[in-house]
Amino acid sequence: MKKIISQVAFGLLGLSVSAAVVAGPSEDRAAFQKFYENRFPDTPVADFQNGVYSILPAAREQWEAIEEFPPYELSIERGEEIYNKTFANGMSLASCFGDDGAVREKYPHWDKDRGMVVTMELAINECLEANGEKPLKYKKGAMADVSAFMSYNSRGQILNVEIPSDDPRALAAYEMGKEQWYTKRGQLNFACADCHMHTAGMLYRADTVSPGFGHATSWPVFRAKWQEMGTLHRRFAGCHNNIRANPYKAQGEEYRNLEYFVSYMSNGLEFNGPAARK
Amino acid sequence: MNQGMKVITLGMALMSSVAFAGNGTTAEHIEAATAAYKQVAKDTGYQWTVTVKTIKAAQKALDAGDDQSARQLAHEAMALVEATRTQAKVESDNWKMRLPK
């Protein structure tokens, strides 16, 4: 009898795992968001856009004080200058993204013609190169500044990433990002989900781990640890280094697809970047 | 590297050293670890940061004339390569178990 019960239980476990794996993106997102709502019942859903400060009242007060004189302010100003600088051919970034660059809500998106995920930072460099200018480095510096300016002007826009159902390549890109999120890597054997999902809110040394829901809203950020601005892909690389896994290339397929997944999981939240973080 | 991690890594190094036992020069062992490192990176699409550091340390020790340390580090690097491969194999399925239900 015991054997039969254990076989049935094992079968049911298998079914539940398979059901989770074959679930589509919208089911994934519902389960993902529900996970955080259950884990942090005192946090209003819309507040997850504030990262770790959505679950850490003690640090929030300090963070709000920092945001009164934000350390990213100069970055926005530098970004505006670069944004409006005229290229050698008479064009500018404004020629690609409009006068104010408030286009955050369009990224990341699936480009059906090219069969790939396009992020805002990638689009910035593609605009530069299409106009005969040198591309910017993806992790910090001028790229983070331009991104900060465009994100600032995009504040309040809602994340609404789409996985087009008529293109299986888009679903494959999403699945690749999803696998990255849940797969353990590096000598320390950590997955993104281990820290930012299953132990979110807990202390790793002196730092509370942020919830993954809302991870895509606030970039670029000024991190106290960096003492400068950085993009989301810089942070991805930093996380990989922390777990002793070689990082992927910024704006390579792996990180673009991870951004696609992470952003899709946060659909419904507001873009509120740039931001200050520890 | 913390104490626990050192014990695991050295344990793996000792296991892999059995496979190497006494065959070839230390330089050949370093070459074998380097080739295995490149191969696992190709097969799995990723690597551990510590592996290449260990290979470099092995080469440095060999260049400094410390054959014993160099050989030990080469074996440690090989163990790290094998651990990377095992992780990739295990995780090719296990990641699905972390999905929220």
Query: Domain check: are A148 and A172 in the same one?
Result: no
Query: Domain check: are A204 and A116 in the same one?
Result: no
Contact between B6 and B47 (Cβ < 8 Å): no
Q: In angstroms, how far is CA A269 from the centroid of its own chain?
A: 12
Residue type at A191?
A
The overall average pLDDT reported for chain A is 93
Burial of B54 (0-12, 13-18, 19+ CB in 10 A): buried
Single residue among A153, A176, A203 that ends a domain in this structure: A153
How many DSSP H helices and E strands does chain B contain?
4, 0
Query: Domain check: are A64 and A191 in the same one?
Result: yes
CA dihedral over A227, A232, A233, A235, signed as positive or negative: positive
**How high is the pLDDT of residue A229?**
98
Query: Domain check: are A148 and A253 in the same one?
Result: no
Residue A8 lies in a domain: no
CATH number, domain containing residue A189? 1.10.760.10
Residue A14 lies in a domain: no
Q: Is A30 a residue whose pLDDT tops 60?
A: yes
The closest alpha carbon to A163, from A251, A257, A74, A100, belongs to A257
d(CA B29, CA A23): 47
Structure tokens at A30: 């519902």
Interface of A to B at Cβ within 8 Å reads 16-17, 20-21, 23, 28, 31-32, 34-35, 179, 182-189, 191, 193-194, 197-198, 241, 244-246, 248, 254
Query: Domain check: are A116 and A229 in the same one?
Result: no
Query: Domain check: are A99 and A51 in the same one?
Result: no
Residue A2 lies in a domain: no
Residue A147 lies in a domain: yes
Per residue in B72-93, pLDDT tens?
999 999 999 999 999 999 999 9
d(CA B96, CA B76): 30
Structure tokens at A165: 């159902």
Query: Domain check: are A226 and A265 in the same one?
Result: yes
Structure tokens at A170: 């888009």
Q: Could you list the residue range(s) of the whole structural domain that residue A122 is in?
A: 73-153
Q: Is A10 a residue whose pLDDT tops 50?
A: no
Bridge partners (DSSP) listed for residue A190 = A185
Query: Domain check: are A43 and A82 in the same one?
Result: no
- Stretch A132-140: mean pLDDT: 98
Contact between A238 and A34 (Cβ < 8 Å): no
Bridge partners (DSSP) listed for residue A229 = A222
pLDDT-wise least confident of A15-19, A25-29, A107-111, A212-216: A15-19
The closest alpha carbon to B72, from B8, B20, B36, belongs to B20
Q: Which helix H or strand E contains A223, and what residues bound it?
A: strand A221-223
Tell me if chain A has a CB within 8 Å of the CB of B8.
no
The closest alpha carbon to A138, from A249, A272, A244, belongs to A249
Q: Is A82 a residue whose pLDDT tops 60?
A: yes
Q: Is A139 a residue whose pLDDT tops 50?
A: yes
Q: Which of B38, B49, B86 to mutate to test the interface with A (most CBs of A within 10 A)?
A: B49
Residue type at B61?
A
Per residue in A235-264, pLDDT tens?
999 999 999 999 999 999 999 999 999 999
Q: Is A92 a residue whose pLDDT tops 70?
A: yes
Single residue among A120, A153, A186 that ends a domain in this structure: A153
Q: pTM score, two decimals?
A: 0.88
Which spans in A23-135 are helix H? 25-39, 57-68, 73-84, 93-97, 120-130
Single residue among A125, A153, A181 that ends a domain in this structure: A153
Which spans in chain A are helix H? 2-22, 25-39, 57-68, 73-84, 93-97, 120-130, 142-153, 168-182, 192-193, 232-242, 253-265
**Which residue from A186, A191, A246 is facing B95, i.e. has the nearest CB?**
A191
User: Per the structure, how many domains does chain A have?
Assistant: 2
Please give the backbone phi and psi of residue A244, each rounded to the nearest 5 degrees, phi first. 65, 40
Query: Domain check: are A134 and A85 in the same one?
Result: yes
- Stretch A62-68: mean pLDDT: 94
Q: Is A6 a residue whose pLDDT tops 80?
A: no
Domain spans in chain B, listed from the N-terminal domain onward: 3-18+27-89
Q: Is A1 a residue whose pLDDT tops 50?
A: no
Residue A207 lies in a domain: yes
Per residue in B16-67, pLDDT tens?
444 455 589 999 999 999 999 999 999 999 999 999 999 999 999 999 999 9
Query: Domain check: are A60 and A172 in the same one?
Result: yes
**How high is the pLDDT of residue A16?**
45
Contact between A183 and B87 (Cβ < 8 Å): no
* Dihedral in degrees, nearest 10, Cα atoms A41, A46, A47, A51: 100
Instruction: Identify the band that residue A58 occupies on the pLDDT scale cut at 50, 70 and 90.
Output: confident
Q: Is A234 a residue whose pLDDT tops 60?
A: yes
Tell me if chain A has a CB within 8 Å of the CB of B10.
no
Residue A113 lies in a domain: yes
Cα→Cα distances B96→A33, A135, B64, B86, Å: 17, 38, 47, 17
Chains A & B: contacts with CB separation below 8 Å: 65
**How high is the pLDDT of residue B5?**
53
Residue A185 lies in a domain: yes
Instruction: Identify the band that residue A95 occupies on the pLDDT scale cut at 50, 70 and 90.
Output: very high
* Placement of tokens 């794996």 in the chain: A21
Q: In angstroms, how far is CA A267 from the centroid of its own chain?
A: 11
Q: Is B10 a residue whose pLDDT tops 50?
A: no
Contact (CB<8Å) B100/A20: yes
Query: Domain check: are A102 and A225 in the same one?
Result: no
Q: Is B3 a residue whose pLDDT tops 90?
A: no
